[in-house]
Chain A
Amino acid sequence: MFDSTFFFYLSAMGYFVGFVCYLLHLIGAPQGKGGSGRLGVVAGAGAGGLMKQTTWGTLATWITVVAFASATLGVILRVMELWRVSGFFLPLPVTSSYETFAFFAWVIPLAYLIFEWRYKVKTLGAFAIGLAFLFVALASSPLVADKGAQPLVPALQSYWLVAHVIFTIVGEGFFALAFVAGLLFLWQTWRGKEALAVKKLDEVGYKAIAIGFPFFTLGALIFGMVWAQHAWGRYWGWDPKEVWSLVTWFVFALYLHARVAWGWRDHKTAWLAVFGFVAALFTWFGVNYVLSGLHSYTG
């Protein structure tokens, strides 16, 4: 009864309520107002419209923290369940579709809560927690078979699996933040807001990518190549999954270079962040369902 799926399920409900509260906060947050500008003593980083406190906002944060705690419990229980059926101790559960989705729905709120605390941006909450809800809901839906802990197939019995998947997912968690920041930026400016008023979103998106990019490079590419060399005898084989992770990496490399070389900001970088995350998602799902290749360990 009180197994990992139960706590993931609980966190899904929590995320949904959190999402609704963040949405009410977002709608209720005052419009307009520029960024921080030159402030006096004790400057608030980017104060103004984006960090306005509302009751809904406070509530949303606490609900998210509780839901995240439940998901954490789920993750811990899952590690123990996997240990029981497989005999392998993996520090984090990433061996099936169900587990990776649930784990992703653990990483996004974690990354988001860090950013909310560090950069005081609550407006991202609605989209970020909404996304986390979608993933844990997807995991709990009938679309994902085999929700229980399964013994590992031979190819997955490697600690490189853990390093490869965890770093990739953490990287993608931060890409997800950049994605929601980009979406929110595009949405706000489309609604007629000054780009300046939501400038903070561009900055937060950049920070998220600056954190996510090393994780993704290390996880998806470097650890992936080391493992491939170790298990298959070739570190790179132009397998569709490999190519798509390279494409994802290319998009974020473009993001970083365009920022420096062309001074791209705002709309252009927001679009790139959105494309980058879409490419990451396609690498994750699209390749499994649309294209075929070596990486089909999970349904």
Chain B
Amino acid sequence: MKCPNCGTTNTSDSKFCHECGTALPQAAAAMPTSPSRDGPALLSFDEKVKRVQEELTGLDCGRCGYASCAENAAAIVRGQSPYDSCVQALPEARERIRLILGLPESVSVSQHLWRTLTSVKLAIGLIAALALLSILGTIIPQGQPDMNYVNRYGLTGYKLIKFFTVDKLFHSWYFLGLLALLGLNTLACLIKRFQVSWQLLRRPHEGQSPVQLLRLENSLELPTGAAPSASLERVAAILTHRGYRIRRKGLQLAAQKHLMGRLGVDLFHASLLLLLMGAIVGGLFGFEGFQVAHKGEIFDVPGSDFQIRVDDLWTVNYPDSSRIKDWYTRLTVLEGGQEVKTQTIEVNHPLTHKGISFYQSSFGSDWFGGAQLTFAVKQGADGTAVSEYEVTVGDTFPLEADLVAKLIAFYPHFVLTEQGPRNRSQRLENPAAYLEIYQGNTLKYWGWTFAHFPDMQIFVAAEPKPSPSDDSAPGPGHGGQGELPYRIEIAGMHAPEFTGLQFSYNPGIWLLYTSFILMTLGMFLNFYLPPRWMWAVAERGRVWLGGKGRDDHEFMSEFEIVAEEVRRALPAASAEKGELRCSTARSSST
């Protein structure tokens, strides 16, 4: 059963809308609800005219083109005047005229568009579509190099992915389009719903007759010896005590509380729109970037008039542990060469200047490019230490008078692949140094030495060979005659540290934060302050109490307590205990 007031779908047995409390039209109601065969068709011409005339205002304003409402009524039934020709009639009256005539619903294109846009069903469809697309966007990795897609999905798959821009799905026109449509849908639903909410908040809460009260899911009929107005006074006191706001009209009483709860849904959806606006503002006017910097480095911040200088950077470990506690970078903001401010940032504690924030994002050492190694040179079977040298890539150090070692490459993360040795990362996983040993200008030996496996070093006598470059160093295991009579071990490793700074500027962030607050408030109102209504009538030595709440279960508990209090507060008329009926809207359908 659809509520004619707010459009909420109620259970078929509900008599009142569980969202707004409007009495729902019952199946047995006098008006035919559809242009059915046995409805209007059976009416005579005169009867139809009479009924149509009842729906018109009787003002005889003449704006329909007929002198009187009676004339227009006849013209409408004859089909000479449109059924909605009366400009004074309320939309509901025009709708009833249409039903009397048995005309099909005529909906203009704009009306149709509005109805679609304001339908929650559209929202459901859009949410479902967005959810499915989002899942797809996590199954297919986003923003990868083209080759990865070819390797994974083949050429056809790759072409499909590129055609539908699935590799950038969350920024594709159709994803953003659906999101925009959902925003529009939300806005339309919000407007429509808020009109009803506003009415509900403004409209005085009307009293109900005893018969209507007994139709409610929770009701009490109580005979009492007290005078009607005194009885209502007691009921009013009880309800006021429970936070209800009371309106009295004669011997009818209407009470309500938590009506603001109705606004929760409106507020929530409004905040979603605000969030969308924030995202658009941020997307249009904001920017993000990443900067790797060493100590002492100064870099320009794009989109700004200032520079950042990295004064210092360091790591702090947990006491007596190799676990990292935090990374720090001390930054100085420079404007036209002048120091403006200095701040030390750490993870979760950024620096913000002129709306641009700088975040400690990563930290590392330049092992591949700038490692500084200490080599221990040993001789003989017993490994007698000869000497130690501190070198960087490209440096040489002497082994004996005419034998010189040269550090050609250092791999912090050495792996042996089919193409030969490779470096896999900047992490110190398996550090290895590639050295060449010269006598004069003649290459005599070459090979690798490993920091974690000092025994595994391999130096072989050189065949004439091309000089290795960084990414194609020769593999161990082949070579000429004889071995190097020295052992060269990696005794120490250092590398300059760098800091990874993420920076971003987002002018939409305050819209977002505001929307978060409103969203929280909206959810609180909606889920924790559900509106409740109570009515009471006193007449002929009886009191009727009825009520409903959107939270039927909790409301029922409250109603039971109120009923009990009322029963105790009112002097009983007879031995009759009265009848309390409680059932939740949904479980009462037995």
Contact = CB atoms under 8 A, between A and B. Distances in A.
Interface string A232-275: 11111010100110110011011001101111010000000000
B588 A262 contact: no
A36 interface: yes
Interface string A264-294: 0100000000000000000000010001000
Contact of A35 (B123, B557, B587): B587
A115 to B, nearest CB: 11
A263 B587 contact: no
Interface string B16-55: 0001000000000000000000000000000000000000
A261 B121 contact: yes
Interface string B554-572: 0011001000000000000
B299 to A, nearest CB: 16
A37 B540 CA distance: 30
A246 B19 CA distance: 27
Nearest to A275: B131
B135 A247 contact: yes
B436 interface: no
A85 B588 CA distance: 56
Contacts of B234: none
Interface stretch (B92-100, B411-419, B578-586): B578-586
Interface stretch (A12-20, A64-72, A126-134, A209-217): A209-217
A195 B502 CA distance: 55
Contacts of A235: 506, 509, 512
B565 to A, nearest CB: 14
Interface string A140-168: 00000000001101110110100000000
A105 B8 CA distance: 37
A233 B325 contact: no
Contacts of A222: 516, 519-520
A45 B553 contact: yes
Contacts of B516: 222, 225-226
A217 B519 contact: yes
Interface in B203-251: none
A43 B560 contact: yes
Contacts of A251: 131
B137 A207 contact: no
Given A35-B590, A46-B587, A200-B587, A230 B350 contact: yes
B111 interface: no
A1 interface: no
Nearest to B136: A243
A244 B137 CA distance: 10
Given A36-B587, A217-B523, A151 B323 contact: yes
B107 interface: no
B384 interface: no
Nearest to B524: A214
A254 B127 contact: yes
A138 interface: no
Interface size class of B (residues with CB under 8 A): 35 or more
B365 interface: no
B215 to A, nearest CB: 13
A207 B586 CA distance: 13
Interface residues of A, number: 65
Given A38-B581, A250-B131, A155 B524 contact: no
Contacts of A151: 318, 321, 323, 325
B582 A260 contact: no
A229 interface: yes
A262 B9 contact: yes
Contact of B128 (A86, A240, A254, A262): A254
A56 interface: no
B469 to A, nearest CB: 32
B108 interface: no
B142 interface: yes
A253 B527 CA distance: 14
B327 interface: yes
B9 A261 contact: yes
A41 B219 CA distance: 11
A233 B587 contact: no
Contacts of A238: 137, 142, 170
Contact of A257 (B123, B327, B346): B123
Interface string A97-122: 00000000000000000000001000
Contact of A211 (B357, B359, B527): B527
B589 interface: yes
Interface string A195-215: 010011011000100110110
A38 B523 contact: no
Nearest to B169: A238
B577 interface: yes
B138 A157 contact: no
A35 B587 CA distance: 6
Contacts of A43: 556, 560, 580, 582-583
Given A43-B582, A233-B350, A263-B11, A210 B519 contact: no
A203 B584 CA distance: 10
Between B327, B581, B587, the greatest number of chain A beta carbons within 10 A of the residue's beta carbon is seen for: B587
Contacts of B327: 154
A27 to B, nearest CB: 24
A77 interface: no
B376 interface: no
B347 interface: yes
A38 B45 CA distance: 47
A218 interface: yes
Contacts of A253: 127
A76 interface: no
A158 B137 CA distance: 29
B326 to A, nearest CB: 5
B81 interface: no
Contacts of B321: 151
B124 interface: yes
B10 interface: yes
Contacts of B553: 45, 119, 203, 207
Interface string B264-279: 0000000000000001
B5 interface: no
A154 B520 contact: no
Given A154-B347, A233-B503, A38 B325 contact: no
A37 B9 contact: no
Given A119-B553, A262-B9, A45 B523 contact: no
Contacts of A225: 512, 516
Contacts of B199: none
17 contacts: A38-B583, A45-B557, A45-B584, A154-B325, A214-B527, A222-B516, A225-B516, A226-B516, A233-B506, A234-B288, A234-B506, A244-B134, A253-B127, A254-B124, A254-B131, A265-B586, A287-B138
Given A43-B556, A43-B560, A233-B350, 16 more contacts: A39-B582, A46-B584, A46-B587, A151-B318, A154-B325, A154-B348, A199-B586, A218-B523, A231-B347, A235-B512, A250-B127, A250-B130, A251-B131, A261-B119, A261-B121, A291-B138
Would you list the 6 A-B pairs with minimal beta carbon distance, nearest first?
A: A261-B120, A233-B504, A154-B347, A35-B587, A263-B9, A250-B131
